[in-house]
Structure 1
Amino acid sequence: MRFDTGLAALGLSIVAVNASPIVGNVLFPPTRPRTTVSQPLYDTLTFYGRYASTYTTAPCKNPPEGTVVQGFANADPTTEMTLFRDDARKQLIMAFPGTASLQDFVTDLSAQQVPATIAGVNCPKCKVHQGVLKSWNAIQPEAQRVLDEALAAYPNYDLFLVGHSLGGALTKFAYASLKSQGYDISAAYSYGEFRTGNQAWADYVDALSGNTDDNQGPYYRVTHADDGVPQVLSPLQGYRHSRSEYWFQKGADGPATTFRCYGQEPSDCNNSQLGIGVAGINAAHIFYPGINVVGCGL
């Protein structure tokens, strides 16, 4: 999420007139207790976080050293994707930054559920967030063209998806669309992603990734402390998260306070915190380990 200093004040007026509650949480019984992550996994989560707030006009060089911009796509409403190339790791990283403008903020709040008319997706019962769907469908053709050109030029490179905030929500849509079309995605990391659809949508994404309590597939839904954004759009409004949540309990303290959480709506991780802010946006949302959306990444 790229944070505009005037956005909070503007957002307050939007929230004030919104007819339905935005922030809300329902605690579900945990399917099993959370478990700490390994040092290598902690390092991976912080590493890819450095891409999540990066874009072509970033205030500083956020990506890991040696990364180059392979391609770029943007679309109305102000949706961006940057495709990075890491030759040392032989990776292509498709990155979606988060809320950048008032238009993005309105997209965040366009929370009506509509059928999941997404390229490649065949899920008649899936209903998704109208604003995110509009953003993804606007950028999908150009983003996929840029990706296809890169994969043709670098056929042996692995593909990763990354995003933060609204970009995290777009990461989920990109994962579902591309995976359903047969793209080989090594992993997807979403940071501070809000709920984007109904139970059928969450189950569809879990089926694509193979995420269960007994198996960690390639989709990682990363949260931080009391970040309120993952809590917006309550299950009481028909929204549901997909697996699997990874929770930085205390920032960049290391693997001892970073947890894998079980079930779609674990009650012992981010859901156990009261996330307060403008539509859920607070300090924990802005400063993830590896991510500083108002400055440089760590």
Structure 2
Amino acid sequence: MSGNTVTKPQSLSFAPSRAARELELRRGEFDLAVHLGCVRTVPDEGGGGRRVARTEIDRLRTEEGYPEALRKRVETVGTKQGADLLEVTPARFTRLARLGVVVPVTFYLNRYRAVVWLYLAEELRQFAADGDSTGLLSGTTPSGLREQLEAGLDLRARNWRGRHLGFLLRQADGHPWARAAAVASLLDPVQVAEIVQDPYERSHLNRFRPRPVTNGAPGSPSAQLAERIMTADHPDEIGWLRADLAQAVSEARTDHPAPRPAPNPTGERPTPHPAAPRQTPRPTAPPPVAQHHDPAHQEPERSRGLLSRLLRRNP
């Protein structure tokens, strides 16, 4: 092998599937580790998504308790297992989640298209060990909270969106349009259009729009349900997201204006090229009305006939 070949270990990186195997994680565990910031990723220089550097793999492997400690940080549980960790009934656990006391970290849709919320086991253990939480884990639910639950309060989707937005902002790596797109991804398209009225800016914003959180086919019932979960539906939540989007777009516009067609050097709108005259096909048979002879149309025919005679006379 030629001595001119230089290997740069620090430049090596892995696609998510390979990185998950390197870290001895299931793909779902790996994705959650990335969401939580446990595994740091870098942009793919070829534009193919996020990757994990070899140095990051090595760093995690040298941590104490690897790989069990890493798996424990991304361990998730559903309602029943979460209730067992808090030593409460599943019904009380659900009430705590609806009140926003415990916050889901992810979700999936089961075969009945019902939303199944998942929670970080480590967070629940810490909550159970906190002495201030004793009143929420036992006894009667305070009347004010009980009234909110009876009125239909459910903060699970909203709290998950807040967590998810934090992940998207981390993945933006400080890019102003990517940050704006992260905020826009939680708003209805009509809301986005009201804030970002310039069509070129909206088009540029959509280039950085995060991928959907579901693997369902676009337009499928599963994808539509996931989209509803992704979209803010509380008036105050919509309000602060709109304000954040306006601020983010303003900053992006200042730092990196959205591309748009180059203006005409003269400052005038370009004049379109004149269209070729439309050729009207000749009828196969003369119309039943008297024909109108256009001298302007006959003149070229006469000219062509005269030219032909002259050429025959002067070979």
Q: When the two structures are superposed, what TM-score results if normalisation uses the length of structure 2?
A: 0.23
- In terms of Rg, which structure is larger? 2
Higher relative contact order (CA 8 A, sep 6+): 1
TM value normalised by structure 1: 0.24
Decide which structure has greater strand share. 1
